[in-house]
């Protein structure tokens, strides 16, 4: 990949892998794929869900509610989750096999107890930036390749927001896994089509050099 390309590694954390508090099915299987991709990129940024223990997205904070229920928040509909990725916990740590040494930065999100943050660019209120957009502008990034967890939530929202910030966005699908709640994968693909997000697989990136673009979502 070229100097204007970046690999965005989204939330490859213990709590999203088997044995974690919010496991994505086969979430740990993205790790070797991502590790193979890392040498292709000179620009790598990691994201990390980093919640306070009283985060409003936790079902435990809402009497009578269970994980995966939805509630209305001031910024819109919110899925409730099991407690996960609590600041400083083992669950919030990156998967131990993920190679992280070459990353330029770690963007932590979801730190505001009252607002969830799926996207690596903007919190769910759609107005509070994480700082990633400014960093990528400073680096003169043009294309963002996205991997990690999960396809239909944090990867998907980040990809759409990358387009909204003026970057090309390419999701490397075999380096992601979905939460796969009813309708969420289809909704993510529809959002990709609407935003102009491309989808590819790792072998195409590994063999494409600086020119690979992926295919339109669909």
Identify the active-site residue in 28, 49, 109, 116. Answer: 109
Is residue 11 part of the annotated active site? The answer reads yes
Strand 76-79 relative to strand 70-73, pairing: antiparallel
Give the containing element (helix H, strand E) for 31: helix 30-37
208 sits in which H/E element: helix 202-208
DSSP track, 90-141: TTTSBPTTS--TT-SEEEEE--STT----SSSB-TTSS-B-SHHHHHHHTT-
Task: Indicate if the pLDDT at residue 43 is higher than 60.
Answer: yes
Q: How many CB atoms lie within 10 A of CB 209?
A: 10
Res. 209 pLDDT band, cuts 50 70 90: low
Kindly indicate the confidence band of residue 5, based on its pLDDT and cuts at 50, 70 and 90. very high
User: 101 catalytic, yes or no?
Assistant: no
Which is catalytic among the residues 17, 85, 116, 154? Answer: 154
Q: How far is CA 189 from the centre of its chain?
A: 15
All domains of the chain in start order, with CATH: 5-216 (3.40.50.850)
- Percent of the residues in the chain that have a pLDDT greater than 90, as a whole number: 93
Establish whether 26 is a catalytic residue. no
Q: Which letter does DSSP use for residue 143 in this model? A: E
Residues 121-170: tens digit of each pLDDT? 999 999 899 999 999 999 999 999 999 999 999 999 999 999 999 999 99
Which member of 5, 11, 49, 161 is catalytic? 11
Predicted model pTM: 0.93
The pLDDT of residue 207 is: 78
């Amino acid at each position: 990949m070229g100097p204007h390309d970046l690999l965005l590694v989204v939330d490859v954390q213990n709590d999203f892998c088997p044995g974690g508090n919010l496991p994505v099915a086969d979430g740990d299987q993205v790790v070797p794929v991502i590790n193979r991709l890392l040498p292709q990129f000179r620009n790598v940024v990691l994201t990390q869900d980093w919640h306070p223990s009283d985060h409003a997205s936790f079902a435990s904070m809402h009497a009578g509610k269970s994980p995966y229920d939805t509630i209305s928040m001031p910024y819109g509909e919110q899925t409730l989750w099991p407690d996960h990725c609590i600041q400083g916990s083992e669950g919030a740590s990156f998967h131990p096999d993920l190679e992280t040494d070459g990353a330029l930065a770690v963007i932590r999100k979801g730190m505001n107890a009252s607002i969830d943050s799926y996207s690596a660019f903007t919190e769910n209120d759609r107005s509070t930036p994480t700082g990633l957009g400014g960093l990528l502008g400073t680096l003169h990034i043009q294309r963002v390749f996205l991997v990690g967890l999960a396809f239909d939530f944090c990867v998907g929202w980040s990809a759409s927001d990358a387009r909204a910030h003026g970057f090309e966005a390419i999701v490397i699908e075999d380096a992601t896994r979905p939460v796969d709640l009813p309708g969420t994968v289809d909704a993510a693909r529809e959002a990709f089509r609407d935003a102009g997000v491309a989808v590819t697989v790792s072998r195409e990136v590994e063999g494409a050099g600086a020119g690979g673009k992926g295919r339109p979502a669909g």
